Structure 1
Amino acid sequence: MAVGRDPKGKTWHFVVDLPAGPDGRRRQMRRRGFASERVARERQQEALAQFGGAELAADGTVAAELDRWLDERELDLSITGLSTYRDFIREYINPHLGSRQVASLDKNVVHDFYKTLLRSGSRRGRPLAAGTVRTVHRILHKALRDIGVEIAGVRQPRKPHRFSKGRKGVWTAEETVAFLGAVREDRPYAVWVLAVVCGMRRGELAGLRWSKVDLRRGVSRGVICTDWQRTTATGQGDRGVVEKETKGSSARNIAIGESVIAVLTEHRRRQDAERALAGEIYRDEDRVFCREDGLGYPPAYFTRRFGRACEGAGVPVIALHDARHTLATVGADAGVPQHARQDRMGHSDSRVTAEIYTHVLPPAQRKAAEVMERVLLPEGRSSEPQT
């Protein structure tokens, strides 16, 4: 390690020794152009703090370090978590930072990288959502910290508002009613009902089994248990589809009322007719939502189909995931308590009922189901008392 004056100018430089690579060869980081010896020594100390404990790979590039880091994380990450890390690194980090030496990173380089993503970080060169850039930041920060590199002063992009510009938003109650009325004869009608009225995610819908649905009527009956999901992971199985348990509060019991029970009962009747028509080629996997031959859908199918359904219904085209937030906005306007809405959406800290099939849910859950179905579903509105 050394600090010295450049022989051909009036500036100062520093040199920091880095850990040797697997080949045993010595490596150094050099920085030039500092106005004074004091500034050069300050920057040298910063570099030592950032890279002094790092165990860098042979070439020391960001791409090589992240690839090695991913290999080490295979033992403690889920398949989908590891796939998400790989996708974000491949799509967003490596194209901009992959060829750089880890030792060349500083807060200015990283902040410029985030600005580039926000301006033109998508595959088509369009702005990348701030939430996505925040995820990039978390992955990069975690990887560098695990490697032993701490870059002082790096700030993550500001957290966007939930429904800020760039999000497609949510529907009003009137738009939701119009949509559900327009798609009532569509084959996946029950999918849209559970997404909007019950706040279910697309992975939960794709992975839902009839064994997790209780269609019996009564005060303590009518429940959907969302403890399983069908999702995607790069390089896994048929079209990258994997199935696994839902995490944390996402696993929940959702109360359903008479109207949703009627929708699901009719959906099952149609499914039974398809099974009989398909005969021996039908593959019975107990799926609530499946193709005519019984095989499950990849979650992306629902996203594509939902967009086309919005256009056909003449309502604003919103993301399927945002459709479930209609539960929050419409429910609030209709007087559903906040804790009941959070429970239905899987955003609370409450735990799954110990006895899944007891189905004795809090009265607020039952009330939330009744209110949402009465406001949004034709089946619910038709059952209102006449005045």
Structure 2
Amino acid sequence: MSRRRENGEGSIYYSEADGKWHGWVTVGVKPDGRLDRRHRVAPTEAAVRAKVRELLKQKAAGKVRKAGRPPTVEQWMTTFLDTVCARKVEDGSMAPRTLDDYRSKVALYVIPGIGKHRIDRLTPDHLDQLYLELLRRPLASSTVLKVHRIISRALKVAFQRGTVAENVALKVDAPSAEEVEIEPLTKEEARAVLDVAERRRNGARWSVALAMGLRQGEALGLRWQYVDLDEGVMRVWWQLQRLTWQHGCDDPHACGAKHHRKACRAGCTAHKAYKRGCPKPCPKDCTGHAKACPQRKGGGLVFRPPKGKNRRTVPIPPPLVALLRAHRASQLRERLAAGNLWEENDLVFCQPNGKPIDPRRDWAEWGEILAAAGVEAKRVHDGRHTAATLLVENGVGLRVVMELLGHSQMRVTQRYSHVSSALAEEAASKVGKALWG
């Protein structure tokens, strides 16, 4: 056996035992203080020299991955979600619903598509193939773009921690997402909706939606202490959200199933008959979900502050001030009627007993009002689009609209600039008069 030194950085030798060339490079120090030496093997001296040079190049660039067998994509995504993202939720830098969305897309698309690949052997071709398959299903292009961003963020953390030598997602062009067409109510439809809502309990809820453009969670989480009717201002500082329950036990599989796609061990036969998991709707007696865990945590209806510029103070239109005064008087009468059954949450919009309104029930209420007003079905969020559109059509600048609605970026607000046809027609008319009189 012959041995050769390579500038004090590594060693190369031929082994008669296996008839191959071997190379060793010291790349650093392990956590326990021992030298971290990496081994490379090849059938020829030239080949092993190339591998050693590549390892030395990675060492110089600080891109040598950690010692030990790299995890699979499935293993790393689980670690990323349960530690990195979970910590961000705790410190408030990530919304809980964002983590829920991450978990859902990883379970539905990432793990089935590329989960078995070792993370250090993942290539741009693997990602391109995954996105192509998702687009062919077909999925919305915005969903595929979100999947790409989740993978890219997970690989970025893996690179920062030395688990991989590079983030291969940076070598892939991000899937383009088509802009979703905005479908606001017309002025006539909005007035018809308000006429119907006025005759219903909590009718002011929809006046707030159409006049101020609050998100559903912001409207349902609005408290009286943040509404100053004398000054005519509203502080949008809280929101009501329904979060997904998480297992609190040490063994989710024994509790039922870690993911409801896997076979439930608590007697739910639906999983056996449907290989992709629970059918829709899932049987009420299914105990494979985290919500059935006796130690469940982190779910249900919760109040939480909005992120970034979503927390704002906005003026209330004068006609709406009068409506809110009448609504408050009506709510006080309900409180007296409820007596000891009243649950004090200081909510502007609540159930007859003071408890928060479930977003699902709020959605159903919106659908009933639209039907009664003769307006085609639309999302609750389209009420927010309606408020933005009315602001733009009445000459309010995009910067002001951005502040009123709590958009974090101007490009979000600019989506409404093309719907203000009345302003465009007025501008064209002025140009025509300037040129032709």
What corresponds to 1:310 in structure 2?
Answer: 370
1:143 aligns with 2:154: yes
Contact 1:119–1:128 (8 Å) recurs in 2 = yes
1:86 to 1:215, Cα distance in 2 relative to 1, 3 A: same
What corresponds to 1:375 in structure 2?
Answer: none
What corresponds to 2:223 in structure 1?
Answer: 209
Per-residue displacement from partner, 1:16-65 (whole Å, max 9, x unpaired)? x9x9xxxxxx9999xxxxxxxx9xx99x97xx98x964449857221111
What corresponds to 1:154 in structure 2?
Answer: 172
Q: Quick one: distance in 1 between partners of 2:372 and 2:196?
A: 8
Letter in 1 for 2:239: Q
Alpha-carbon offset, residue 104 of structure 1: 4.2
Q: Map of 1:119-138 to 2, 5 A cutoff?
A: 119-120=136-137, 127-138=138-149
Letter in 2 for 1:110: L
Q: Quick one: distance in 2 between partners of 1:52 and 1:315?
A: 59
Letter in 2 for 1:274: E
What corresponds to 1:108 in structure 2?
Answer: 125
Contact 1:84–1:233 (8 Å) recurs in 2 = no
Contact 2:197–2:204 (8 Å) recurs in 1 = no
Contact 1:170–1:322 (8 Å) recurs in 2 = yes
What corresponds to 2:232 in structure 1?
Answer: 222
Q: Map of 1:283-294 to 2, 5 A cutoff?
A: 283-294=343-354
- TM-score, length-normalised on structure 1? 0.68
1:229 to 1:55, Cα distance in 2 relative to 1, 3 A: farther
Letter in 1 for 2:173: R
What corresponds to 1:233 in structure 2?
Answer: 243
Q: Secondary structure at the match of 2:88?
A: coil
1:348 to 1:110, Cα distance in 2 relative to 1, 3 A: closer
1:71 aligns with 2:82: yes
Per-residue displacement from partner, 1:85-132 (whole Å, max 9, x unpaired)? 323322332232223332442222212222333343xxxxxx433223
Q: Which has the larger radius of gyration?
A: 2
Q: Quick one: distance in 1 between partners of 2:361 and 2:66?
A: 44
1:187 to 1:94, Cα distance in 2 relative to 1, 3 A: farther
Q: Quick one: distance in 1 between partners of 2:375 and 2:68?
A: 53
Q: Quick one: distance in 2 between partners of 1:300 and 1:107?
A: 41
Q: Secondary structure at the match of 2:199?
A: coil
Per-residue displacement from partner, 1:250-291 (whole Å, max 9, x unpaired)? 111111122111221222222122212211011111011111
Q: Quick one: distance in 2 between partners of 1:61 and 1:27?
A: 20
- TM-score, length-normalised on structure 2? 0.61
Contact 1:230–1:241 (8 Å) recurs in 2 = yes
What corresponds to 1:174 in structure 2?
Answer: 188
Q: Quick one: distance in 1 between partners of 2:140 and 2:67?
A: 31
Alpha-carbon offset, residue 349 of structure 1: 7.5
Q: Secondary structure at the match of 2:241?
A: strand
Contact 1:56–1:65 (8 Å) recurs in 2 = no
1:128 to 1:264, Cα distance in 2 relative to 1, 3 A: farther
Q: Secondary structure at the match of 1:242?
A: strand
1:198 aligns with 2:208: no
Identical-pair percentage = 31
Q: Quick one: distance in 1 between partners of 2:39 and 2:141?
A: 36
User: Unpaired runs of 5+ in structure 2?
Assistant: 1-24, 28-36, 41-46, 160-165, 247-296, 411-437
Cα RMSD for the two superposed structures: 3.8
Q: Secondary structure at the match of 2:404?
A: helix
Q: Quick one: distance in 1 between partners of 2:149 and 2:365?
A: 32
User: Unpaired runs of 5+ in structure 1?
Assistant: 1-16, 20-25, 30-37, 121-126, 351-387
Q: Secondary structure at the match of 2:349?
A: coil
Contact 1:339–1:348 (8 Å) recurs in 2 = no
What corresponds to 1:60 in structure 2?
Answer: 71
Q: Secondary structure at the match of 2:206?
A: helix
Q: Secondary structure at the match of 2:314?
A: strand
Contact 2:335–2:354 (8 Å) recurs in 1 = yes
Report the more deviating stretch, 190-199 or 173-182. 173-182
Alpha-carbon offset, residue 162 of structure 1: 4.3
Q: Secondary structure at the match of 1:116?
A: helix
**Higher RCO (Cα < 8 Å, 6 or more apart):** 1
1:85 aligns with 2:107: no
Per-residue displacement from partner, 1:154-181 (whole Å, max 9, x unpaired)? 1222132242xxx6x2222222222222
What corresponds to 1:259 in structure 2?
Answer: 319
Alpha-carbon offset, residue 182 of structure 1: 2.6
Q: Quick one: distance in 2 between partners of 1:161 and 1:227?
A: 29
User: How many residues of Structure 1 are paired with residues of Structure 2 in the alignment?
Assistant: 308
1:186 to 1:330, Cα distance in 2 relative to 1, 3 A: same
Q: Quick one: distance in 2 between partners of 1:300 and 1:56?
A: 49
